[in-house]
């Protein structure tokens, strides 16, 4: 997240750990009313806001993270802002423009959020921009207050070729500490190996959406 207090520290940590896959966590919260506590975007603060303002902000953040010289492997969005249907094409175009190969997308995000809206154009758009995405998205280890209707959670029995496991490990908040415990638990590693899964980053990775 390019504009948060810990950005410089995060860059230093990334440089010290070159095997990590580093992405842009696009933060567009300033444009929205946010349901704090669960972290959901509601409506726009300014309904008359020109779309170009959001495009310019997205590009500014992309340029800032690329200016660090770190190899940026993917783009996703804080509170999934980039997945809003009115924003997705613009974010995808900018991701492709700056030659970042992976953009977070998962069909389940839209389940129950936009009834009757056709999103079949998105995979074709990603193919045209030559962007990769995973087949399945796991929103962490277990449901939390911010769970959305289309979310699914870690399930080692679910068949997939590629999957992203989104986690928020940390200290100082109970739910983040629970995720940290999951991330470091030997039984989780054993389950992954038992099911023939390979852990990887988005570096050097590609898959059709």
pLDDT of residue 101: 96
Average pLDDT over residues 145-156: 83
Burial-class residue 106 by CB neighbours within 10 Å (0-12, 13-18, 19+).
Answer: buried
Residue for token digits 């902000």?
57
Confidence of residue 146 (pLDDT cuts 50, 70, 90): confident
Query: 8 pLDDT exceeds 90?
Result: yes
Q: Would strands 40-44 and 136-138 be described as parallel, antiparallel, or unpaired?
A: unpaired
Query: 145 pLDDT exceeds 90?
Result: no
Query: 40 pLDDT exceeds 90?
Result: no
Q: How many CB atoms lie within 10 A of CB 8?
A: 10
Average pLDDT over residues 46-54: 95
* Edge-to-edge strand ranges of the sheet holding 72-77: 22-26, 72-77, 102-103
Query: 33 pLDDT exceeds 80?
Result: yes
User: For residue range 83-136, what is the model confidence (pLDDT) as tens digits?
Assistant: 999 999 999 999 999 999 999 998 777 777 777 788 889 999 999 999 999 989
Does the pTM exceed 0.85? yes
User: For residue range 158-201, what is the model confidence (pLDDT) as tens digits?
Assistant: 999 999 999 999 999 898 999 999 999 999 999 999 999 999 99
pLDDT of residue 113: 77
Residue 54 in contact with residue 26, Cβ under 8 Å? no
pLDDT of residue 141: 92
Q: Return the structure tokens found at 58.
A: 């997205």
pLDDT of residue 115: 77
Output the 3-class SS for the chain.
CCCCCCHHHHHHHHHHCCCCCEEEEECCHHHEEEECCCCEEEEECCCCCCHHHHHHHHHHHHHHHHCCCCCEEEEEEHHHHHHCCCCHHHHHHHHHHCCCCEECCCHHHHCCCCCCCCCCHHHHHHHHCCCECCCEEECCCCCCCCCCCCCCCCCCCCCCCCEEECCCCCCCCHHHHHHHHHHHCHHHHHHHHHCCCCCCCCCCCCCCC
For the chain, the domains span: 7-194
Mean of per-residue pLDDT scores for the chain: 92
Region of residue 11 (phi > 0: left; psi between -120 and 50: alpha; otherwise: beta): alpha
pLDDT of residue 110: 79
């Amino acid at each position: 997240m390019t504009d948060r207090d810990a950005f410089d520290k995060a860059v230093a940590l990334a440089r010290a750990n070159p095997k990590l896959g580093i992405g842009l966590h696009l933060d567009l919260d300033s444009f929205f009313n946010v349901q704090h506590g669960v972290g959901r975007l509601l409506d726009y603060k300014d309904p008359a806001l020109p779309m170009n303002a959001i495009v310019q902000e997205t590009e500014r953040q992309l340029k800032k993270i690329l200016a660090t010289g770190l190899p940026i492997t993917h783009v996703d969005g804080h509170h999934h802002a980039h997945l809003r249907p009115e924003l997705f094409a613009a974010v995808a175009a900018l991701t492709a423009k700056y030659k970042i190969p992976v953009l977070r997308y998962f069909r389940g995000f839209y389940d129950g959020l936009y009834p009757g809206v056709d999103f079949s154009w998105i995979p074709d758009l990603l193919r045209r921009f030559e962007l990769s995405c995973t087949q399945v998205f796991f929103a962490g280890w277990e449901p939390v207050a911010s769970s959305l209707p289309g979310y699914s959670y870690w399930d080692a029995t679910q068949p997939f070729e590629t999957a992203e496991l989104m986690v928020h490990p940390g200290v100082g908040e109970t739910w983040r500490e629970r995720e940290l415990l999951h991330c470091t638990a030997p039984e989780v590693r054993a389950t992954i190996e038992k099911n023939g899964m390979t852990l990887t980053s988005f570096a050097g990775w590609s898959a059709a959406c």
